[in-house]
Amino acid sequence: MPPGIDGRRVPAHVGCVMDGNGRWASRRGLPRTEGHAAGEAALFDAVEGALELGVEWLTVYAFSTENWRRPVDEVRFLMKFNESLLMRRRDELHDKGVRVRFIGRRNWRVPRRVLRQIEEAEDLTRNDRRMTLTFAFNYGGRAELVDAVSRIVADGVAAGAVDEKLIAKYLYAPDMPEPDLVIRTSGEYRISNFLLWELAYSELVFTETLWPDFRRHDLFAAVREFQERRRRFGGVEGVEE
C-alpha cells in the first residue's frame, strides 16, 4: 500500500472526470486533439494505481452527451481515438484482470464501428473480476435518468411502485455501486452531468492537475484526502439508526 493510505478504507468505487486535455495541448502550442492522445497514458497509469490500491470499480468520463457540441473534427477524432484505444489495449486490460464496461446512450449518434469495439472489449473481459473499468461514453447523467424513466413507463410500472430502489434498477449499470470518491482534474469545480443519481453521497476531490499530467500518485493523493473525510450520509457519526 502506498504510504499514508489505510488499506482497509480504500474506496471501492472511484469516478474520474478526465478534464483539461485541450488546455494541456494549448499550453504546448499543440492542437487540442494532442491533449486527448496524451490522456491515454494518464488513464492507464490511473488504472495501474487503482489496481495497486485494490479499487474494485473505476469509472472514467470519456465523452459526454454535451461533447457533441464541439467542432466536428474534434468529435471525429474522439470517436476514432476511443475506437483505436479499445482495439489496441483491450488484451492488456484483459491480462490484468480488468473488466471493461460502458455506460451511456448506445443507440444515439455513436458510430457503428465504435460500438463494435465497445462490444468486443466487453465480451473479451466479461469474466475479469480484479477491477471493473467503466467508460462513461456518450454519457449524460440527465440522459441516463431520462432513459430510466422512459423504460419504467414502457414497462407499465404503476406510479405507486416507483421508489429509489426501482429507479436505481433502471440505470445503465444497476449492479455498479455508487462512487465513494469522484475526482475532477483541471481546476473546474463542477459535475458537468457525470453520474447525477449515483454521486448523491460521493466525496468530491478537485485537483488543478490537467488530465494528461495525471498519474497514480495523484490518485493516491485523492484517496488520502478521501480517507480524511467523515462520511455521514445525513446521519450522526457513531450513532446507528
Question: Annotated catalytic sites, by residue?
Answer: 19, 67
DSSP label at residue 179: P
Residue nearest to Mg ion (CB): 19
13-17, strands of its sheet edge to edge:
98-103, 131-139, 57-64, 13-17, 181-184, 203-206
Among 15, 21, 125, 209, binds ligand IPE (CB under 6 A): 21
Among 59, 138, 186, 209, binds ligand IPE (CB under 6 A): 186
By the rule CB under 6 A, 179 interacts with ligand IPE: no
By beta-carbon proximity to Mg ion, the closer residue of 10 and 18 is: 18
By the rule CB under 6 A, 16 interacts with ligand IPE: no
CB atoms inside a 10 Å sphere around CB 51: 17
Which of ligand IPE, Mg ion, none has residue 141 at its interface (CB below 5 to 8 Å by kind)?
A: none
Q: Which residues contact 165 (CB under 8 A, 6 or more apart)?
A: none
Q: Least separation, in Å, of the C-beta of 46 and ligand IPE?
A: 13
By beta-carbon proximity to ligand IPE, the closer residue of 22 and 170 is: 22
Phi then psi for 74, rounded to 5 degrees? Answer: -70, -40
Gap between the Cα atoms of 217 and 49, Å rounded = 8
Gap between the Cα atoms of 197 and 185, Å rounded = 21
By the rule CB under 6 A, 18 interacts with ligand IPE: yes
By the rule CB under 6 A, 43 interacts with ligand IPE: no
Phi then psi for 216, rounded to 5 degrees? Answer: -55, -30
Among 62, 121, 148, 176, binds ligand IPE (CB under 6 A): 62
Residues found near ligand IPE in the complex (CB under 6 A): 17-23, 61-64, 67, 78, 186, 188, 190, 192
